[in-house]
Amino acid sequence: MSEIGLFEAMYTARALRRLKPDPVPDEVIAKVLEAATQAPSGGNAQNWIFLVVRDKSQRQKIGAVYRKASDEVAEIYAARGRPNYMTEEQFARLMKGGAYLWDHMGDAPVLLIPCARKREMPPPEKLPDAVAKRYDAHLAQQDRIWGASVYPAIQNINLACRALGLGTVITTNHILYEDEVRQILGLPDDIFTFALMPIGYPLGKYGPLARRPISEVVYSDRWGEPWTAKP
Ligand SMILES: Cc1cc2nc3c(=O)[nH]c(=O)nc-3n(C[C@H](O)[C@H](O)[C@H](O)COP(=O)(O)O)c2cc1C
């Protein structure tokens, strides 16, 4: 297969939730995993571990947890309503696509679960006074950036799937019942899951994406000052 360009991949890698049940060769999944591990992480810690679930009974158990969690998340979406930048049609499509996956997560031939190992902070007594005094701020910063070290790898998975003709979508609803997923997978206490990605050959088509224009989401130098250049 000839490779597509980076920008084409970024502009067409939409959420593909409808997947064929056909198996994906392990070597293809290995290529996706290698792309994941090329991502940056804080301090190049590479504290990630990827669980590749192909066993049918494991997939079904995880799919059931996803379903249970999604029933709750659907109520949050319904209560929030349609965001004003989406048309009725776009919002309806999002909800319909999401609902399809509630019942089919376990049918994807591969469930890829990017995880990370929690890095402990050194105790305050091991730090110089000036830093120990700000220990709570450091804990809060660690808490905020912890997941940020996994999501670049997750987006690499998204793009690698696109390049290799696979479909996937980043999902996170299962985290509402993460303890159950942790038990199914036998995860050690310091390993946590950051996404659940069904992977398979797509039934749907790639891109184009519906995204807000940069004029709506970018400011120049300070809040409220418009950015005017166009690509
Ligand atoms: C952090 C994150 C969490 C997400 N969680 C879910 C999820 O639990 N279930 C789901 O169906 N989609 C989930 N999505 C997919 C988004 O709904 C999807 O990427 C977005 O609607 C854009 O879709 P598009 O690329 O097809 O336009 C998630 C995406 C991200 C980035």
> What ranges do the domains of the chain cover?
6-217
CA nearest neighbour of 25 among 157, 206, 164:
164
Looking at residue 1, what is its pLDDT?
56
C-alpha to C-alpha distance for 114 and 197, rounded to whole angstroms = 8
**Nearest atom, ligand 1, residue 209 CA:** 27
Q: Could you tell me the distance, in angstroms and rounded to a whole number, from the CA of residue 84 to the centre of ligand 1?
A: 18
C-alpha to C-alpha distance for 35 and 117, rounded to whole angstroms = 19
CA distances to 17, 70, 71, 90, 94 from 83, in Å: 21, 19, 20, 10, 12
Q: Is the CB of 94 under 6 A from ligand 1?
A: yes
C-alpha to C-alpha distance for 179 and 176, rounded to whole angstroms = 8
**Nearest atom, ligand 1, residue 16 CA:** 26
pTM: 0.95
Q: Is the CB of 101 under 6 A from ligand 1?
A: yes
Q: Is the CB of 162 under 6 A from ligand 1?
A: no
Q: Is the CB of 161 under 6 A from ligand 1?
A: no
Phi/psi at 48 (nearest 5 deg)?
-95, 155
Q: Is the CB of 172 under 6 A from ligand 1?
A: yes
Looking at residue 159, what is its pLDDT?
98
Domain 6-217 has CATH 3.10.310.30: no
Per-10-residue mean pLDDT, the chain, length 231: 88 97 98 98 95 98 98 91 90 88 97 94 94 96 92 98 98 98 97 98 95 96 96 92
Among protein residues, the one whose CA lies closest to atom 19 of ligand 1: 15
Q: Could you tell me the distance, in angstroms and rounded to a whole number, from the CA of residue 122 to the centre of ligand 1?
A: 35
Q: Could you tell me the distance, in angstroms and rounded to a whole number, from the CA of residue 130 to the centre of ligand 1?
A: 41
Among protein residues, the one whose CA lies closest to atom 12 of ligand 1: 171
Q: Could you tell me the distance, in angstroms and rounded to a whole number, from the CA of residue 173 to the centre of ligand 1?
A: 10
Q: Within 10 Å of residue 1's Cβ, how many Cβ atoms?
A: 6
